[in-house]
Structure 1
Amino acid sequence: MATYLDFEEPIKALEEQIEKAKTLGEESDMDMGDKIKELEGKLEKKTKEIFTNLTPWQRVQLSRHPDRPYTLAYINAMTEGTFQELHGDRNVKDDKAMVGGFGQLDGQTVMFIGQQKGANTKMRQYRNFGMANPEGYRKALRLMKLAEKFNKPIVTLIDTPGAFPGLEAEERGQGEAIARNIYEMMKLKVPVICVVIGEGASGGALGIGVGDRILMLENSWYSVISPENCSTILWRSWDYKETAAEALKLTSTDMKKLKIVDEVVKEPLCGAHRKHDEIFDTLKKVLKKEIAALSKLDPIKRSADRIKKFENMGVTK
C-alpha cells in the first residue's frame, strides 16, 4: 500500500475516487469512462499544483519518503542483474550501511558505491539506517582504488542522515576515515560521478561525495546538518525545522544556484517514490552521458579540474 505525506492527501483522495469509480463501473456495468477521465484530469492538475510549489521542508520529507527507492534498487535496476557486490574493508568488518561493487551500464563496467537504508524496521537496523562506520568508508575507498587499478569509472549514490556518531565509530577513527576518503578521491585517475539520491547530510555524504560531476535528484537535499538538528541547536527545539530548512538552502535548486552541484536530475512529476522505473531510466541515461564525456578527458587534467572545482566552492568576489 502506498504511503502519503500530509501534503499529498489531496492526491490520495482523488486516487481513491478514481478506484471507486472503476470498481463501480465493473460491478454495475455502468459506463464510468467520462467520470474517470474527469477525475484523472483533476488528479493531474492537483499533482502538478502540489509538486511545482514544494517548500524546502516538503522536499526534505520527500527525500525520506518510505516508498522512495534506495541505493541497491537503483544499482540493480540500472545494471540489469549484472551487479556483483564486494564486501569488507580488509581491516575490521563488512559495514552493511555501505554497499559497493562492479556492475554494467549497457556493457560499460562501472564501480557503484553508496549508502543503503533499509525498507523495513528489521532491514533499517541491519543497515544501521544508512549511517556508515569508519570501516564503511574504508571499504568504499578500497573499492575506489580497485576501480582505479582496472581503469573503471566510479559512481557514488549518496543517501545518508550522516556518518554513524557512536562511541565505537569515534574510537575506530570516523573523522580520519572520512578525511582520508576526501583526500584520496581528489586524486583518483578515473571518472568519478556523485549523485545525491535522497539525504546528503554532513561528512557522511562528503565521505563518498568528491567527484568530477556532482548531481542531485530533484527532491533530495544536501547540507552540513539536517533541519531538525539545526533547529535544535539554534532554538533548542525541533519546532523550527521548517524555518531551518528554508535558511539552510539545502534543496537541489539552491545547490545548483550556489554551484555546489553541476546538475539537477528531474524526477517524475509525482516524485521518484511513485514511479521507480522512470527515475531509474532517467538516471541511467544521465550517468551514461556523463561517463562518456568524462572518459574523453586526460586523467591528470581530470584530477586537476576536480581539485580546482572544490577549491572554488564557497569563494566570493
Structure 2
Amino acid sequence: MVFLEFERPLEELYDKLEKVREVAEDGVVDMSETILDLESRIKQTRKDIYGNLTGWQRVQLSRHPERPYSLYYIEQMCRKFVELHGDRYYGDDKAIVGGIGNMDGQTVVIIGHQKGVNTKMRQYRNFGMANPEGYRKALRLMKIAERFNFPVVCLIDTPGAYPGIEAEERGQAEAIARNLFEMAQLRVPIVCAVIGEGASGGAIGIGLGDHVMMLENTWYSVISPESCSSILWRSWDYKEQAADALKLTAEDMLGFGIIDEIVKEPQGGAHSGRKEMAKSLKKQLKKAIAALQAKDIDQVIEERIDKYSRIGQVERAK
C-alpha cells in the first residue's frame, strides 16, 4: 500500500497490524483481540482523516499512484471497446485514448486522458499531457459519434496540456479552441467526468459537456496549486494555501455551477475500491446519458450553450 503524507497515522497502524498478524501466524500467542482492536482503530482513524479533507489533500488523492485511470474505467464499464488511433493530420497521441464502446447495450464514444500505471508507461503516455494531435484525435472521434448518433463520454485526468515548444509549433492553443467551438454545437449528448486532475486548457479541451461530474477527491482549476504558489509567492512552499484560495474541489465547482454532480468515492479514495468506483461511475454516466437522450437534440444544444454562457457572470454593484 502507498500512503500519502496525511495518511501517516494509518500507515503506523497498518504496520502494527502486520506485525501482530505475523505473531498470530506462529500460533503460540492468541492475538485475536489485539487484531480486532487494531482493525477498529484503523476504521476510526480512516473515518477521521477522510471526513475532513483539505483542498490540498484532495489534490494529493487525485494524484495517488494507485488511482485508476481512463483505460481501467473503460475496461470495467464496457463489454467491448475498440480503440481508434490518430488524428489524420500528424500522428497518434498516447496521452489521449478513445474509441467506441458498448456500455450495457448502449454504444458510446469514450475519450479520456491516460497517465500510465508505471514509470515506463507514464513516459509513453507523456504523463497524461496531450499534444495538439491528441485533441484533434478527440475531435475526430466526436465527429464519428455525431455521424452515427452515439453519445460522447469524456474522462478527464491531466496535469495540463503539454507545454513543450513542439506542441506550440503544431498549434496547441488552436487545437483546444477548435474542440471547444465544435463541442459547443456537437449534435449528440456529451457527458464529462473528472476522474483525477482537471488542470487548465488540457482538461477543458475535452471537458465541455451537457452534464459534467467530478469524482469526490478530484480537482478542476485553471492552474495547479504548485504553479499558483510559484507565481504568487515565488516558491512551491505555499501550495496548500494556494489550493484553498483556488477553490478547486468538487464541492467548490458544484457551488459555482461549473459542474452538475459529485460522484462519491469509496472511503480512502477511488484506489481503495477500484471496482466499486467504476461501477458507481458507470451508473451515473448511464443515468446522465439516458436523461439527455430523452430530450430533443436542439434543446440539448441550446441548454449546453446557455449553461456555459452563465458561468462567470457577476452582479454589478448598484
> In which range does the TM-score fall when normalised by the shorter chain?
over 0.9
Q: Alpha-carbon deviation of 1:30? A: 4.2
Match of 1:230 among 228, 231, 244: 228
Quote the residue 1:277 is aligned against.
275
Give, as a single letter, the amino acid of the residue that structure 2 aligns with 1:129: F
Q: Alpha-carbon deviation of 1:29? A: 5.5
Give, as a single letter, the amino acid of the residue that structure 2 aligns with 1:137: Y
Match of 1:312 among 296, 310, 313: 310
Matches within 5 A, 1:93-242: 93-242=91-240
Larger deviation, residues 114-123 vs 31-40: 31-40
Quote the residue 1:71 is aligned against.
70
Structure 2 CA distance for aligned equivalents of residues 185 and 283 of structure 1: 22
SS at match of 1:83: strand
Length-normalised TM-score, structure 2:
0.97
Q: Structure 2 unaligned runs (5+)? A: none
Structure 1 CA distance for aligned equivalents of residues 62 and 266 of structure 2: 14
Q: Alpha-carbon deviation of 1:269? A: 1.0
Structure 2 CA distance for aligned equivalents of residues 109 and 78 of structure 1: 12
Q: Structure 1 unaligned runs (5+)? A: none
Q: Percent identity, aligned pairs only?
A: 62
Q: Alpha-carbon deviation of 1:33? A: 2.8
Structure 2 CA distance for aligned equivalents of residues 76 and 29 of structure 1: 46
Q: Does 1:60 align with 2:62?
A: no
Give, as a single letter, the amino acid of the residue that structure 2 aligns with 1:42: R
SS at match of 1:68: coil
CA deviation profile, 1:184-231 (whole Å, cap 9, x unmatched): 001111111110111100000010000001100111000000011111
Length-normalised TM-score, structure 1:
0.97
Q: Alpha-carbon deviation of 1:24? A: 2.2
Structure 2 CA distance for aligned equivalents of residues 215 and 297 of structure 1: 19
Count, aligned residues: 315
Q: Give the aligned CA root-mean-square deviation in angstroms.
A: 1.1
Structure 1 CA distance for aligned equivalents of residues 28 and 288 of structure 2: 52
Q: Alpha-carbon deviation of 1:236? A: 1.0
Give, as a single letter, the amino acid of the residue that structure 2 aligns with 1:9: R
Structure 1 CA distance for aligned equivalents of residues 20 and 240 of structure 2: 38
